[in-house]
């Protein structure tokens, strides 16, 4: 297990390093980047930029100091709002985005797994067919389309839910549904197919031959094995949900990090874009690492492996 | 042990005429009729795909969409970018089949123009993924050994990169345009394809080895071409089919964020973004048409991909 | 001896997209207390379906027991509800599967998998169940049971896993053990050990065993009686001696020729040519006709009547008919 953790950790560090280096190279070398443009008009901004990116140092020092700033959780200044830094924006926006993300994951995982199990247990029946058609639809409708459709119907037409902001649990319903439907559909499809496979395994037959009750067989023998692949795609789903918050927050006017990020894109506030990208990338990469570790604990073949490796 | 049904009419050996007790002629034809006509792999797959109604519906939808993407803008008397303020927010009518948007542009024309963009992005992304994936995965699988494990390490690391974030970053720096979208999508998209190609190459190599050791002689290349290549192509084709909706989604998503196609040009993502304010005022058609087509195009590709997966899976082949 | 199981005219069908598979077509046999019965036949002849039918584990749909009775200690299991069957499974009748690599759940410890049946049926505490489990592990020859109890399946070799599976099957002291190809997935030396284990266990517990295999060699040592299946039917049955020394059905003879023999060096294995018939539309006559070197015209037309050669030895083959015997004699004269 230790070997496995170390290996995943090494992969995480390398991935982090790549993303940090990539942002640095893009910032410093490509045309259109504020670090290469004419000096900005605003002096405070210029001073902030120079201070954060150490523009008067040679490139390699800039690079090292840049890495240091990120390791110490300093994601740089904004050029559009001279008094603000990316850290300020994160402090205000990230908790809200995190709330939206967590609500989404909980809804998506629970409903996706239940839907997938039902479809598998009623394999080839009406429920299965219906559930899977809904799931493909869920995968196919982009979250921003679903969001606008929800507003159009639930808020504008029937007026049963508030269309915008993030001020109460009721306000959370529509954004969460819009964001959770895609991941839910993916989880449902995956759960169904792994569940179907697990149910044909000999150890399930063996459990039945022991005379165990059907629900006990499902919960004790089938579920854990069927859900392991779901754990492995959590990292990817998380990335999808996170980028999804950009548009969902924009559409519903939720003052989260995604909204600031989209604003910074529209205003071409490069340091904010870079800082946020690095922060979110790091967040996702660490999450991916944690998911891998969780998987290791679930799978006794990894957990008990002493030498490491796969 | 007596079986009930077949012995119904025979109660004792006496019921059997004596002249049935003679050796049966061995007829050579019997053996041949046993080997059933072997359909070619593709014909067989096509036959199975045709049985999948949802996948076929998807295919038909995509063919029609493709045709309309080509001729749709020509059919209409309007130009995509033509603004006509007085005609703002007209509901669907004889003149404007899908209505007009906030700037009086014809939604029908813009929808088909958007279809061109979406299909183009989707197909280009799939093709580039295919070529890069085949080269990378092919080299990795074919060389094997150290090269292979190094190349796979690299893939493992790239896999962990949050690709949409990287794409956004690239677009911000390179400036939004169709070309940059396609480049950005391909920079990150080929990894999955490379993995699959490598797996398939290893399979072929393994098979070659087995065949050679069994000295099938000159028939080896033929077997690879006839039996193995089609089988290994299956997962690659499925992957390509499923890449398309992902790319279409990414383009729409990025355009929606303002990083893709720029207004006044039309893409489904741009149209959906433009419609955001309008739907609150009840101009549903500005959103409905791009939303409908983007969703159903992705749906069609997804069900087609699922259908192909079932149809091309050699394991299911009997 | 007391009869513990009596299967009568069992028919099992599967409805699939391609049509109805007649997997088992009128199988009858019985089993006495403390006896080992072997069911032998090529792949696909319906051995597993028969044993799953006894356990009522045929997936329904698509499968169905369409006719026949399965009497276990005088009660017809085909009439039992699934709920009632649960109190039979693992308690009165246990089953062992072919591949020990897949028969154990990789995410649960051996211990958990051993005790769960006992705790379910006997309502024992976990501590009591564990004690019994350790006893069973000793019986099946697992060294260090205490330590092994806490381990996961991947930490066991194939042979050890099969021993665990056997321990699981026996933990509630069943009267009937059905072993579906228990040694096929193991290598030869381990095979012998496991077969020996069956013998020991039978001596100690008096359990009746149905041993399913496609390899007659496996049963040569431990089967009391042998049933030979082909295309969903039993075509010959007899004691071990009768089947090995006086096989009558050409298919049984063919099977015997394909058994690897350790005693004759360099003896060639002679596999039977051809493949079994399609069970979607099985032939109306003897299903072996197409592959039989002594096929007669009658064989295609009518399924053979059963001939009883002794109390225990029965065969379904037209060659037993007097008229066929003349034909055979003529052929022998010619050469
Ligand atoms: N779930 C099912 N659906 C359809 N057909 C089935 C199913 N299970 C078994 N069959 C059919 O029943 C027939 C007998 O299968 P069975 O598993 O009993 O063979 P077997 O004698 O155990 O062979 P093996 O030695 O390979 O285990 C086969 O032709 C098989 O195709
Ligand atoms: Mg079997």
Mutate to test the interface with A, among B155, B162, B305 (most CBs of A within 10 A): B162
Structural domain includes residue B40? no
Task: Take atom 27 of ligand 1 and give the residue whose Cα is closest.
Answer: C43
Residue A30 has pLDDT above 80, yes or no: no
Task: Take atom 16 of ligand 1 and give the residue whose Cα is closest.
Answer: C46
Domains of chain C as residue ranges with CATH: 3-92+178-276 (3.40.50.300), 104-173 (no CATH)
Beta-strand pair C225-230/C63-72: unpaired
SS3 content of chain A, % helix, strand, coil (to 5): 75, 0, 20
* Distance, CA of A215 to CA of C286 (rounded, Å): 44
Domain of A188 in residue numbering reads as 93-303
The complex's ipTM works out to: 0.84
| Mean pLDDT in residue range B82-102 | 71
Closest CA to C251 of C29, C27, C42, C24: C42
Residue A134's domain is classified under what CATH number? 1.10.3720.10
Task: Looking at the complex, report in whole angstroms how far the Cα of residue B268 sits from the nearest Cα belonging to chain A.
Answer: 10
* Distance, CA of B101 to CA of B288 (rounded, Å): 12
- Provide, as residue numbers in chain A, all residues whose Cβ is less than 8 Å from the Cβ of B299: 136-137, 140-141
Closest ligand 1 atom number to CA of residue C16: 4
| Mean pLDDT in residue range A177-200 | 92
**Domains of chain A: total:** 1
Contact present, A229 and A198 (Cβ < 8 Å): no
The lowest-confidence range among B212-221, C41-50, C81-90, C167-176 is: B212-221
Task: Looking at the complex, report in whole angstroms how far the Cα of residue B50 sits from the nearest Cα belonging to chain C.
Answer: 15
Q: How many CA atoms lie within 13 A of C257 on its CB side?
A: 11
Closest CA to C212 of C201, C194, C199, C228: C228
Top-confidence residue, A98 or B213: A98
The lowest-confidence range among A43-57, C150-164, C206-220, C295-309 is: A43-57
Note the pLDDT of residue B6: 43
Contact present, C237 and B1 (Cβ < 8 Å): yes
Indicate the top mutation candidate among C23, C42, C58 to test ligand 1's pocket, ranked by most ligand atoms within 8 A of CB.
Answer: C23
* Distance, CA of A60 to CA of A76 (rounded, Å): 18
Task: Looking at the complex, report in whole angstroms how far the Cα of residue A220 sits from the nearest Cα belonging to chain C.
Answer: 9
Task: Looking at the complex, report in whole angstroms how far the Cα of residue B22 sits from the nearest Cα belonging to chain A.
Answer: 48
Residue B131 has pLDDT above 80, yes or no: yes
Note the pLDDT of residue C224: 92
Residue numbers of B between 29 and 88 with CB closer than 8 Å to C: 30, 34
Size of the B and C interface in Cβ pairs below 8 Å: 71
| Mean pLDDT in residue range C213-234 | 88
Bridge partners (DSSP) listed for residue C69: C8
Q: Note whether C16 contacts A: Cβ–Cβ < 8 A.
A: no
Q: Is there a contact between C57 and A209 if contact means CB atoms under 8 Å apart?
A: yes
Structural domain includes residue A158? yes
* Distance, CA of B259 to CA of B276 (rounded, Å): 16
Q: Note whether A246 contacts B: Cβ–Cβ < 8 A.
A: yes
Distances in whole angstroms, Cα of residue B296 to Cα of each of A68, B299, B303, C123: 47, 5, 10, 55
pLDDT tens-digit map of A216-233: 999 989 988 888 888 888
Residues A28-31: contacts with CB within 8 Å, 24+ apart? A28/A59, A28/A62, A30/B173, A30/B174
Residue C246 has pLDDT above 50, yes or no: yes
Please name which ligand lies nearest the alpha carbon of C180: 2
CA of A190 to the centre of ligand 2 (A): 29
Q: Which of B1, B3, B6 sits opposite C314 (nearest CB)?
A: B1
Contact present, C117 and C171 (Cβ < 8 Å): yes
pLDDT band (50, 70, 90) for residue A116: very high
Q: What is the mean pLDDT of chain B?
A: 77
Q: Is there a contact between C321 and B16 if contact means CB atoms under 8 Å apart?
A: yes
Note the pLDDT of residue B8: 45
Note the pLDDT of residue B213: 54
- Residue A125: CB partners within 8 Å, gap ≥ 6? none
Closest ligand 1 atom number to CA of residue C21: 5
Note the pLDDT of residue B35: 42
Beta strands in chain C (DSSP E): 3-16, 19-32, 36-40, 63-72, 75-76, 93-96, 176-180, 208-213, 225-230, 233-239, 306-308, 314-316
Note the pLDDT of residue B26: 61
**Domains of chain B: total:** 1
| Mean pLDDT in residue range A70-99 | 85
CA of C24 to the centre of ligand 1 (A): 9
Closest ligand 1 atom number to CA of residue C98: 27
Residue C20: helix, strand or coil by DSSP?
strand
Residue A36 has pLDDT above 60, yes or no: no
CA of C44 to the centre of ligand 1 (A): 5
Q: What is the mean pLDDT of chain A?
A: 85
CA of B103 to the centre of ligand 1 (A): 67
Note the pLDDT of residue C255: 86
Structural domain includes residue B230? yes
The lowest-confidence range among A21-30, A122-131, A248-257, B223-232 is: B223-232
Q: Is there a contact between A246 and B156 if contact means CB atoms under 8 Å apart?
A: no
Structural domain includes residue A152? yes
Residue A65, Cβ neighbours under 10 Å: how many?
Answer: 14
Closest CA to A204 of C57, C174, C151, C47: C57
Q: Tokens 């205490």 identify what position?
A: C146
Residue A235 has pLDDT above 60, yes or no: yes
* Distance, CA of B295 to CA of B298 (rounded, Å): 5
pLDDT band (50, 70, 90) for residue B31: very low
Six token digits for residue A150: 């929800």
Task: Looking at the complex, report in whole angstroms how far the Cα of residue A288 sits from the nearest Cα belonging to chain B.
Answer: 7
Name the range with the highest mean pLDDT among A122-131, A301-310, C326-335: A122-131
pLDDT tens-digit map of C255-268: 888 776 555 555 55
Task: Looking at the complex, report in whole angstroms how far the Cα of residue B22 sits from the nearest Cα belonging to chain C.
Answer: 5
Residue A80, φ and ψ in degrees, nearest 5: -90, -35
Residue B226's domain is classified under what CATH number? 1.10.3720.10
Is the C-beta atom of C63 inside 6 A of ligand 1?
yes
Structural domain includes residue A117? yes
Q: Tokens 């519906």 identify what position?
A: B57
DSSP assignment of C173-196 = --SEEEEESTTTTS-HHHHHHHHH
Chains that touch C (3 or more CB pairs under 8 A): A, B
Signed CA dihedral, B172, B174, B179, B183: sign only: negative
Mutate to test the interface with C, among B4, B23, B32, B317 (most CBs of C within 10 A): B23
- Provide, as residue numbers in chain A, all residues whose Cβ is less than 8 Å from the Cβ of B187: none
Note the pLDDT of residue A310: 38
Domain of B293 in residue numbering reads as 50-316
Note the pLDDT of residue B34: 44
Residue A202, Cβ neighbours under 10 Å: how many?
Answer: 19
Beta-sheet strand order (sheet of C233-239)? C93-96, C176-180, C208-213, C36-40, C225-230, C233-239, C314-316, C306-308
Q: Which of C103, C105, C121 sits opposite A211 (nearest CB)?
A: C121
Q: Tokens 């079986």 identify what position?
A: B3
The distance from CA C188 to its chain's CA centroid, rounded to whole angstroms, is 19
pLDDT tens-digit map of B259-279: 887 777 788 888 888 877 777
Residue C228 has pLDDT above 90, yes or no: yes
Q: Note whether B6 contacts C: Cβ–Cβ < 8 A.
A: yes
Top-confidence residue, C186 or C105: C105
Closest ligand 1 atom number to CA of residue C12: 12
Structural domain includes residue B268? yes
Q: Note whether C234 contacts A: Cβ–Cβ < 8 A.
A: no
Is the C-beta atom of C62 inside 6 A of ligand 1?
yes
Chains that touch B (3 or more CB pairs under 8 A): A, C
* Distance, CA of A14 to CA of A289 (rounded, Å): 12
The lowest-confidence range among A7-21, C128-142, C178-192 is: C178-192
Is the C-beta atom of C276 inside 6 A of ligand 1?
no
Top-confidence residue, B156 or A109: A109
Is the C-beta atom of C299 inside 6 A of ligand 1?
no
Task: Take atom 6 of ligand 1 and give the residue whose Cα is closest.
Answer: C14
């Amino acid at each position: 297990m230790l070997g496995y953790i170390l290996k995943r950790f090494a992969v995480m560090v390398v991935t982090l390093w790549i993303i940090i280096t990539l942002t640095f190279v893009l910032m410093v070398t490509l045309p259109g980047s504020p670090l290469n443009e004419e000096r900005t008009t605003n002096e405070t901004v210029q001073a902030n930029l120079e201070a954060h990116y150490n523009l008067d140092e040679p490139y390699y020092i800039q690079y090292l100091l840049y890495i240091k700033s990120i390791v110490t959780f300093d994601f740089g200044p904004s050029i559009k709002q001279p008094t603000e830094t990316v850290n300020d924006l994160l402090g205000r926006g990230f908790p809200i985005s995190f709330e939206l993300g967590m609500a989404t994951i909980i809804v998506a995982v629970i409903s996706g797994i239940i839907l997938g199990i039902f479809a598998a247990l009623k394999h080839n029946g009406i429920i299965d067919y219906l559930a899977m058609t809904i799931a493909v639809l869920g995968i196919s409708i982009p979250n921003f389309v679903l969001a606008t459709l929800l507003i159009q119907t639930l808020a504008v037409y029937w007026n049963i839910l508030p269309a915008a902001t993030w001020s109460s649990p009721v306000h959370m319903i529509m954004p969460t549904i819009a964001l959770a439907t895609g991941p839910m559909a993916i989880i449902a499809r995956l759960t169904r197919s792994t569940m179907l496979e697990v149910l044909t395994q000999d150890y399930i037959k063996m459990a039945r031959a022991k005379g165990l009750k059907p629900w006990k067989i499902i919960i004790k023998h089938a579920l854990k094995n069927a859900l392991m692949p779901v754990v492995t795609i959590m990292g990817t789903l998380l990335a999808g949900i996170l980028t999804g918050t950009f548009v969902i927050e924009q559409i519903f006017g939720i003052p989260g990090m995604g909204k600031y990020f989209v604003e910074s894109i529209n205003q071409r506030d490069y340091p904010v874009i870079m800082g946020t990208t690095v922060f979110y990338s790091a967040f996702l990469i660490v999450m991916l690492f944690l998911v891998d570790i969780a998987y290791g604990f679930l799978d006794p073949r990894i957990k008990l492996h002493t030498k490491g490796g796969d | 042990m007596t079986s009930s049904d077949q012995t119904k009419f025979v109660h004792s050996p006496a019921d059997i005429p004596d002249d049935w007790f003679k050796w049966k002629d061995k007829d050579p034809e019997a053996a041949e009729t046993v080997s059933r006509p072997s359909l070619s792999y593709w014909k067989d797959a096509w036959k199975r795909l045709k049985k999948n109604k949802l996948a076929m519906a998807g295919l038909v939808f995509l063919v029609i969409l493709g045709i309309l993407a080509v001729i749709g803008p020509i059919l209409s008397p309007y130009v995509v970018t033509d603004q006509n303020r007085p005609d703002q927010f007209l509901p669907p009518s004889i003149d404007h089949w899908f209505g007009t948007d906030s700037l009086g542009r014809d939604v029908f024309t813009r929808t088909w123009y958007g279809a061109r963009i979406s299909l183009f992005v989707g197909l280009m992304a799939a093709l580039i993924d295919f070529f890069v994936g085949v080269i990378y995965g092919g080299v990795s699988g074919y060389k094997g050994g150290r090269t292979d494990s190094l190349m796979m390490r690299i893939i493992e690391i790239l896999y962990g990169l949050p690709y949409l974030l990287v794409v956004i970053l690239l677009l911000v720096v390179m400036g939004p345009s169709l070309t940059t979208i396609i480049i950005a999508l391909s920079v990150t998209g080929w990894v999955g394809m490379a993995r699959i190609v490598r797996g398939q190459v290893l399979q072929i190599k393994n098979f070659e080895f087995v065949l050679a050791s069994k000295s099938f002689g000159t028939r080896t290349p033929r077997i690879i071409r006839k039996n193995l290549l089609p089988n290994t192509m299956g997962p690659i084709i499925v992957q390509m089919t499923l890449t398309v909706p992902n790319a279409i989604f990414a383009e729409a998503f990025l355009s929606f964020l303002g990083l893709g196609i720029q207004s006044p040009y039309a893409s489904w993502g741009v149209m959906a973004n433009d419609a955001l304010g309008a739907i609150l005022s009840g101009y549903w058609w500005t959103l409905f048409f791009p939303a409908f087509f983007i969703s159903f195009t992705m749906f069609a590709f997804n069900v087609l991909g699922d259908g192909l997966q079932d149809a091309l899976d050699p394991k299911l082949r009997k | 001896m007391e009869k513990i199981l009596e299967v009568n005219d069992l028919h099992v069908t599967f409805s699939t997209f391609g049509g109805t598979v007649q997997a088992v077509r009128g199988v009858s046999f019985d089993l006495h207390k403390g006896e080992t019965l072997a069911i032998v036949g090529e792949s696909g002849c319906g051995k597993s379906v028969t044993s799953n039918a006894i356990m009522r584990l045929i997936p329904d749909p698509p499968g169905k027991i369409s006719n026949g009775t399965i009497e276990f200690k005088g009660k017809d299991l085909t009439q039992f509800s699934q709920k009632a069957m649960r109190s039979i499974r693992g308690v009165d009748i246990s089953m062992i599967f072919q591949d020990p690599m897949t028969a154990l759940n990789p995410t649960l410890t051996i211990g958990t998998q051993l005790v769960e049946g006992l705790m379910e049926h006997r309502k024992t505490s976990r501590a009591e169940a564990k004690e019994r489990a350790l006893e069973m592990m000793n019986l099946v020859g697992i060294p260090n049971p205490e330590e092994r109890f806490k381990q996961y399946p991947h930490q066991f070799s194939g042979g050890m896993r099969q021993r665990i599976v056997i321990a699981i099957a026996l933990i509630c002291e069943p009267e009937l053990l059905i072993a579906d190809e228990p040694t096929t997935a193991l290598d030869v030396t381990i095979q012998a050990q496991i077969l020996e284990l069956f013998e020991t266990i039978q001596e100690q517990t008096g359990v009746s065993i149905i041993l399913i295999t496609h390899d007659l060699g496996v049963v040569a040592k431990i089967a009391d009686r042998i049933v030979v299946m082909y295309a969903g039917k039993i075509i010959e049955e007899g004691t071990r001696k009768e089947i090995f020394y006086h096989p009558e059905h050409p298919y049984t003879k063919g099977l015997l020729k394909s058994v690897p023999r350790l005693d004759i060096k360099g003896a060639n294995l002679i596999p039977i040519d051809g493949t079994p018939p399609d069970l979607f539309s099985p032939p109306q006559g003897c299903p072996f006709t197409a592959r039989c070197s002594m096929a007669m015209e009658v064989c295609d037309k009518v399924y053979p009547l059963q001939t009883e050669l002794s109390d225990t030895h029965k065969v379904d083959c037209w060659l037993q008919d007097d008229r066929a015997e003349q034909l055979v004699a003529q052929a022998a004269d010619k050469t």
